[in-house]
């Protein structure tokens, strides 16, 4: 059976920016809009041109760009009470945006009309009628967002329905039912939509759900089941309070579970990339547990799970991750079994040899021993690879520490001064050096790099991306163990390493050494995946 089409209406650039710590410049909005257009989204709501200069500037910039797939949409409200549409500043701003489509919201909950706005129910109906009719006559495709519809329908269904019928009769091309407070249950969404669909043709209906009960995606799917053909939401679920319906989950579920076509298969394979791209532009770290597109969405940690997916991925994966541009990952921890080790060894290009079972058991025992001390190898693939290489005997130490010392003091201007001295040996050569830093770990990092540059100049390519310190177990107070997690990059890749100790400097040293050893180890691998001898 052919898939039924559902129209995607993205409001990341408007409703998404109402989320805490989410902000885009006009230029960033245009970048995201272009990416959404390339993906094949049907509507892109660019902002509210009557509310701020930035959105007005975005629409001016967008006039020079030709959208191939999407209809750029300007958002605003109905005319103000007591104003004619042609004299209303908000309506004028919508027209100045020169978009083919406009979306306007109007109150459908009588509480908002009488107690918040302080006007009559009939006056709101006139504001809806006048605004929709005026924009319709101006040649615009008009989308009417029935704000607070489900709350209004629960309290006064007759009036809520009257607002919808008024917008439809005035010429609205689509009616979008909004769960603005995000408090409606999926079964109530479905029941209300079915009632509306008896009056409004389903092909004219849309859904706009907020996530205050964690049900925005479920409510969106329930509305589609009841007949709506347009879904509104944001990439990654950004939005006010608890956010909007996450379109990455909505799309994945509609297309792969409900046979409702939203995007081409090629575009669907870019879904994970889209999620990461928008997160990067928003400067928000990706949520690893996000369904379909998160880094942990297809990650397996338990040994029994890994053993099963290595034989049949569908044993513990509800879809093939490649369908949405994601990939399978296997994590190693104290829950690991031999299957985890075998999988990771293949991933790292390490041959476990003929006695792989005995070697895998040895690796598992060592990992469990170290994790009992506070190590966390599922968060530190770099340290894990080094550990496996060392146990399998395919790792040659690139350098040996003789000793180091770190001191901390104050200079004349009261700034903190840290000095690290370090003595290492590489083969038969010994190097003694010192370096300053703005903290003990920074000084130690500078000193180690300075000592090694003579032997391994390629470490100049790498730099620390992130440095995190965590208490392993807090009952010992300041004497508790700490773990240090480092993220490092050389411009070609990124890796994570870990160190654990009661001493934060010692833990940092372990993570620093692993980070540099990982870089050198990867650089020494030849084309066959075997490590050459250190020199």
Q: Read off the pLDDT of residues 248-261 as tens digits, 9 standing for 90 and up.
A: 999 999 999 999 99
Rg of the chain, C-alpha, whole Å = 29
Give 54's pLDDT tier (boundaries 50, 70, 90): very high
Q: Can you give the pLDDT at residue 396?
A: 84
pLDDT score of 1 more than 60: no
The C-alpha torsion from 158 through 161 and 163 to 168, rounded to 10°, is -150
pLDDT (tens digit, 9 = 90+) per residue, 284-326?
Answer: 888 889 999 998 898 887 777 877 887 888 898 999 999 999 9
* 183-213 pLDDT tens trace: 999 999 999 999 999 999 999 999 999 999 9
Q: Is the pLDDT of residue 534 over 50?
A: no
What CATH number matches the domain at 400-524, 3.40.50.300, 3.30.160.270, 3.40.640.10, 3.40.1280.10? 3.30.160.270
The mean pLDDT of 242-270, rounded to a whole number, is 97
Angle 296-299-305 from CA coordinates, rounded to 5°: 145
pLDDT tens digits, one per residue of 277-293: 999 899 888 888 999 99
Cα end-to-end distance, the chain, whole Å: 64
Name the average pLDDT for the chain. 89
Q: Which two tokens stand for residue 328?
A: 């399978």
Locate the domains of the chain by residue range.
Answer: 4-263, 299-390, 400-524
Same fold, 4-263 and 400-524: no
Instruction: Report the alpha-carbon distance of residue 143 to residue 131 in Å, rounded.
Output: 11
Tell me, what's the pLDDT at 140?
Answer: 97
Q: What is the pLDDT of residue 344?
A: 78
**Tokens encoding 382:** 């770099």
Predicted confidence (pLDDT) at residue 335 exceeds the cutoff of 70? no
Task: Write down the pTM of the prediction.
Answer: 0.74
Quick: pLDDT tens for 453-502: 999 999 998 888 888 888 876 455 555 788 899 998 888 888 999 999 98
Is the pLDDT reported for residue 64 higher than 80? yes
Give the pLDDT score at 240.
95
List the single range of 2-6, 265-269, 444-448 with lowest mean pLDDT: 2-6
Query: Which listed CATH number (3.40.190.10, 3.30.70.340, 3.30.720.200, 3.20.20.70) goes with 4-263?
Result: 3.20.20.70
- Report residue 529's pLDDT band, with 50, 70 and 90 as the boundaries: very low
Q: Three-class SS of residue 188?
A: helix
Mean pLDDT of 36-55: 94
Length of the chain in residues, anyone? 535
What's the token pair of residue 259? 């046979």
- Of 40, 502, 498, residue with least CA distance to 263: 40
Position 206 scores a pLDDT of 98
CA gap 231, 208 in Å, rounded? 7
Residue 533 pLDDT more than 60?
Answer: no
Res. 411: pLDDT tops 80:
no
């Amino acid at each position: 059976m052919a898939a039924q089409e559902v129209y995607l209406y993205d409001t990341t650039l408007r409703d998404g920016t109402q989320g805490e710590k989410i902000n885009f410049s006009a230029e960033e909005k245009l970048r995201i809009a272009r990416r959404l257009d390339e993906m094949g989204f049907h509507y892109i709501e660019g902002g509210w041109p009557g509310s701020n200069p930035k959105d007005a500037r975005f629409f001016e910039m967008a006039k020079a760009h030709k959208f191939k797939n999407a209809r750029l949409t300007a958002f605003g409200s109905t005319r103000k009470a007591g104003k004619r549409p042609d004299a209303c500043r908000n309506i004028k701003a919508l027209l100045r945006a020169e978009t083919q489509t406009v979306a306007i919201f109007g109150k459908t909950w009588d509480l908002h009309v009488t107690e918040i706005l302080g006007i009559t129910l009939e006056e709101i109906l006139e504001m809806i009628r006048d605004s929709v009719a005026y924009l319709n006559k101006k040649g615009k495709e008009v989308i009417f967002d029935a704000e607070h519809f489900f709350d209004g329908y629960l309290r006064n269904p007759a009036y809520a329905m009257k607002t919808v019928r008024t917008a439809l009769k005035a010429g609205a091309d689509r009616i979008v039912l909004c769960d603005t407070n995000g408090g409606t249950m999926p079964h109530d969404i479905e029941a209300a939509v079915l009632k509306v669909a008896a009056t409004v043709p389903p092909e004219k209906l849309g859904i706009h759900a907020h996530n205050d009960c964690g049900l925005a995606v479920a409510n969106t799917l329930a509305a589609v089941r009841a007949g709506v053909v347009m879904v509104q939401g944001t990439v990654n679920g950004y939005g006010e309070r608890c956010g909007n319906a996450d379109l990455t989950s909505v799309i994945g579920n509609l297309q792969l579970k409900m046979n409702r076509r939203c995007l081409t298969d090629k575009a669907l394979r870019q879904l994970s990339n889209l999620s990461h791209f928008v997160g990067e532009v928003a400067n928000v770290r990706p949520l690893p547990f996000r369904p379909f597109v998160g880094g942990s969405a297809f990650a397996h940690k338990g040994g029994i799970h890994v053993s099963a997916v290595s034989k049949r991925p569908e044993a513990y994966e509800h879809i093939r991750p490649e369908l949405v541009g994601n990939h399978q990952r296997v994590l190693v921890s104290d829950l690991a079994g031999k299957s985890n080790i075998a999988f990771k060894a293949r991933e790292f290009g390490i041959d476990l040899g003929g006695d792989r079972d005995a070697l895998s058991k040895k690796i598992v025992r060592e990992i469990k021993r170290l994790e009992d001390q506070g190590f966390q190898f599922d968060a530190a693939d770099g340290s894990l690879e080094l550990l496996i290489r060392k146990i399998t005997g395919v790792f040659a130490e690139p350098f040996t520490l003789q000793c180091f010392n770190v001191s901390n003091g104050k200079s004349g201007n009261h700034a903190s001064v840290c000095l690290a001295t370090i003595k290492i040996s590489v083969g038969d050569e010994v190097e003694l050096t010192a370096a300053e830093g703005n903290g003990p770990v920074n000084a130690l990092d500078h000193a180690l790099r300075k000592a090694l540059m003579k032997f391994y100049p390629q470490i100049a390519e790498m730099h620390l991306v992130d440095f995190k310190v965590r208490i392993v177990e807090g009952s010992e107070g300041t004497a508790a163990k700490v773990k240090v997690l480092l993220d490092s990059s050389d411009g070609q890749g990124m890796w994570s390493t870990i160190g654990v100790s009661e001493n934060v400097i010692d833990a940092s040293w372990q993570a620093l050494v692993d980070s540099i050893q990982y870089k050198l180890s990867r650089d020494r691998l030849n084309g066959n995946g075997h490590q050459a001898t250190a020199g």
